[in-house]
Chains A and B, each alone.
Chain A
Amino acid sequence: MKIVVFMTIIGVFILAGSLLSTVTGVGITTGRSETVPVSVRNNPSSYRPVYGTYSGYHTPVSSSGGYSAGK
């Protein structure tokens, strides 16, 4: 019976999490963010992302900051 109780408790937690997620619309964040200067805002195509979190091919980034490459 312990196993059923244990799994039921887990299930209740998941259900509660689901309900919270449904009501607030919040889930697991998968992205990240940074702030760019006005020049980049005005010329979005000049933005250069930081590719550190990506796997596979990275385009060359010369500076330490993402947007700085587009300054």
Chain B
Amino acid sequence: MLSAECPSCGAPVLFQHAASAAAVCGSCQSTVIRDGIDELVVWGKVSAFSRDLSPIQVGASGVLGDRPFQVAGVLRRSRPGVRWNEWYIVFDDRTTGWLSEGNGFLQIFGGAHAGAVLPSYASLHLGEAIEIGDDRYIVIERAEAAVVAAEGELPFAVSDGLMRPYADLRRSDGRATGTIDYADSPPEFWPGRIVTLESLKMEGLRAFAGWSDPTLVSMQGPEVQLRRGLDCPNCGGSLPLRAPGTTVQLVCEYCGSELSIEEVGDENTARVLRAHRGQVWKPRLPLGKRGRIDDVEWEIIGAMKRAVRADGIDYPWVEYFLHNPYRGSRFLMEDQRGHWNLADRLGGVPTSQGTSAWARQRLGSEVYRHFSGGKAVVRNVLGELDWEVKVGDSVDTHDYVSPPHMLSREGDRHEVAWSRSTYLSKEAVEDAFGVSVRSPWGVAANQPNPYSKRSIWLAAILSAGSLWVGSLVVLLLGIFLARNETVLDSSYTSTGAVSDVWVSEPFAVDAGFRNHLGVRSSTTMLRSAGQVHVALINQDNGQVYLPLNTTSQNAASGSIYFADPGAYVARVEIARPAPSAAQDKLNVKIVLDPISGFPCFAFFFPFLIPIVLTLARASFESRRWSESDHAG
């Protein structure tokens, strides 16, 4: 450890790590570098690192795999509209690295990769794949950024303002990343990976008033008050700043003016980007509202309405910008039909299965189908955002779906960003934020098909199976219970006269509970040539039953239930409009207490359940894709 006086102001400057070559004086913000063993030389000045919503601080520690490290210093870098932190870490074995914190991600870089053949900065194109060593990366960002603030120890001296080109890379696995630093010649490649505070077992994090995270129990120091206030320079309205340091832009809640938020030390100032007077857009969920989704608490700090225009029609949606100092940011999205999604910026880049934008994308084991594309234009903005955006800004978007997930690709000339949304039910949003929201209608692009759920098919199979077994039992019971006794089975031959009438031998129907008669006739006579009539005449009481309904060309059947007991005869007649030469055959069969045919319907009904479910599922998918670019 080296402790020496700052050559500029005399304040003590501490070097705790031998790997550090420079440090920022906490008193005068001079960057001092080591000269010899214990001499310091002033190299330049850098702005003070103002406190933002990062829970990381100099002195915090963690473990990467089995390598403990300590946070020794920090750089804040910036390019127009975007800011992020790069924490300088020193491992116990005195090697160094960086913990980059920005755009919703935490990436760790363990050291530069020596000897890699790297493409030139000018030859890089957004979205293209490049090979570095044996690995394949996608270029997701290509820009220049400057150091705008620093604190603590650093591996090199820095000063404000110098723009340095860089390229950020991603691999498709969602974890591995890389960055090429083009500041020096030759450029350096830093392989990295996406991590979380939990996975690094970070200790000594900052504690924020009003926030807690049960998974991160080690927080040091007094609670930090997050909120700051500032006055709108356009209307004078008093505005809360809910995420100082993170917020780059704020839209006044009173006048709608777009303000750029600048940091001067621990103070924030606002500069009007675009003045506005008139009605201010109010999203459905108010700014400052907190909700708990998947056991993580989020606060709405900003919102914007965007729309894709197709065939002269705007298709708008609202994006709420959610923030948690320990978890970063998320987007809660509500489309115009009341469907909700929770979106997260994607760590990796999906693998395209083709060359066109319509090609399917694979992310992990999931394959996403292209749904729609267009130009998303910002219509309204309110509150705080961690990047600069104004009404009218546009990006090219493409959405790919694999319900309940959706991948969205957004690109401009600097950056290609991927995000993954997960469909949220209305009830989930209401439970999370304690508010009542409208009921959705129609089918959302990534809405889970309710008829595809494993549980519903299991229930359907169980239900159909139970009903089928039940009907089988009833069918067998019917066969067992029915007497099914044939009391008449006679055949006749017609003479061809206008009316041929026969009277059968008498048969008896005894008194009983199931004295039902089933009558069936069949004939060789065409239906158009005449008719068959059967009348069952009870000779004891004069009751006559006319049972037949024509069911097909040459056959008829019918039933008489609870027929009066007694001696019966059947009067059988073939009636014609005119005499015929045909000698048609006729058979009449009468069965006492026949087997009921009704259970047959119950036997086949269960098969309707999976059929109806399949049709419902297809109908749902049809409605989903009718909204896509692939409709029709």
Taking beta carbons and an 8 Å cutoff, which residues of A are in contact with B? Answer: 1, 3-4, 7-8, 10-12, 14-15, 17-19, 21-38, 40-42, 44-45, 47, 49-51, 53-59, 66-67
Contact = CB atoms under 8 A, between A and B. Distances in A.
Interface string B456-471: 1001100110010011
A38 B543 CA distance: 10
Contacts of B545: 31-33
B605 interface: yes
A30 B616 CA distance: 36
18 contacts: A3-B616, A11-B605, A12-B467, A15-B471, A19-B477, A22-B477, A27-B561, A28-B598, A32-B545, A33-B546, A34-B546, A38-B542, A41-B537, A42-B539, A44-B503, A47-B535, A49-B533, A56-B528
A18 to B, nearest CB: 4
A71 B548 CA distance: 24
Nearest to B481: A22
A54 B548 CA distance: 9
B528 A47 contact: no
Given A15-B467, A30-B558, A31-B560, A7 B612 contact: yes
A66 B577 CA distance: 19
A36 B537 contact: yes
A22 B596 contact: yes
A8 B560 contact: no
B482 interface: yes
B593 interface: yes
A59 B579 CA distance: 12
Contact of B544 (A10, A22, A67): A67
A59 B519 CA distance: 22
A19 B599 CA distance: 7
Contact of A29 (B460, B527, B561, B576): B561
B28 interface: no
Given A7-B612, A57-B530, A17 B598 contact: yes
Contacts of B593: 25
A38 B364 CA distance: 89
A2 to B, nearest CB: 9
A17 B597 CA distance: 12
8 shortest interchain CB distances as A-B pairs: A31-B547, A22-B478, A18-B599, A25-B514, A18-B602, A30-B558, A59-B575, A21-B598
A38 to B, nearest CB: 7
B206 interface: no
Contacts of B535: 44, 47, 49
A42 B544 CA distance: 13
Contacts of B601: 14, 18
B481 A23 contact: yes
A44 to B, nearest CB: 5
A39 to B, nearest CB: 10
B41 interface: no
A30 B467 CA distance: 27
Given A23-B481, A45-B503, A8 B467 contact: yes
B103 interface: no
Contacts of A59: 498-499, 531, 575
Given A1-B459, A8-B467, A35-B542, A40 B537 contact: yes
Contact of A22 (B562, B599, B616): B599
Contacts of B569: 44
B609 A4 contact: yes
Contacts of A4: 456, 459-460, 463, 609, 613
Contacts of B530: 57
B571 interface: yes
Contacts of A19: 474, 477, 599
Contact of B501 (A38, A45, A55, A56): A45
B478 A11 contact: no
Contact of A47 (B548, B557, B571): B571
B463 A31 contact: no
A28 B547 CA distance: 11
Given A12-B467, A59-B575, A33 B609 contact: no
Contacts of B516: 25-27
A15 to B, nearest CB: 5
A57 B531 contact: yes
B559 interface: yes
B114 interface: no
A56 B553 CA distance: 11
A32 B544 CA distance: 8
Contacts of A28: 559, 598
B1 interface: no
Contacts of A10: 605
A11 B477 CA distance: 18
B549 interface: yes
Contacts of B464: 11
Contacts of B453: 1
B600 to A, nearest CB: 8
A33 B545 CA distance: 4
A37 B539 CA distance: 10
Contacts of B549: 30-31
A50 B535 CA distance: 10
B78 interface: no
Given A25-B482, A27-B561, A37-B542, A3 B613 contact: yes
A40 B542 contact: yes
